[in-house]
Amino acid sequence: MTTVIVLNGGSSSGKSGIARCLQAVLPDPWLTLGVDTLIDATPSTVDDGIDFAADGGVSVGSGFRRLENAWMVGVAAMVRAGARVIVDDAFLGGAASQQRWRAALAGLEVLWVGVRCDGVVAAGREMARGDRVTGMAEAQAEIVHRGVVYDFEVDTGVNEALVCAREIAARVG
């Protein structure tokens, strides 16, 4: 039985919308935990944390990685305690990011989902949102998928979040 759904996609690709729709269409309660929540919870005083460049680039330091690791282990502990969790993340390190999650979620039933969206479409969403650094969506559109292995992929540039969520829900065992 699937206990974790990991949604990986670039900024403004539609992961959060899909996660909310999944909560509505899946029969059991699922928590949604996103990397944005971790970023918001991280104090600005963390040495070697996370930085957002004016051009949309993101650099992640060892201080942030330590907190991220603790968060991943914590998410896995919640699942082991009986919660079902949808993870909303952007694998800036591609396959290396997925490997960190694989280590934390070892022994759990995980559905790995790639959330694709054309960079130009994501950039338009980014502009409309107004809460992201301009350029982040286009910069991340492909890099987050490099070397990542998925059970299933959806494309939010072609389908609405609810359609994608229903396709994902059909694969949850």
Which tokens go with 2? 């699937």
Determine the Cα–Cα distance for residues 149 and 160; give it in Å rounded to an integer: 23
49: Cβ–Cβ under 8 A, 6 or more apart, which residues?
Answer: 42, 61, 63, 64
Determine the Cα–Cα distance for residues 6 and 107; give it in Å rounded to an integer: 15
Q: Please say if 36 is a catalytic residue.
A: yes
Give the number of other Cβ atoms within 10 Å of residue 45's Cβ. Answer: 7
Determine the Cα–Cα distance for residues 7 and 32; give it in Å rounded to an integer: 10
Catalytic residue among 28, 36, 47, 51: 36
Residues that are catalytic: 36
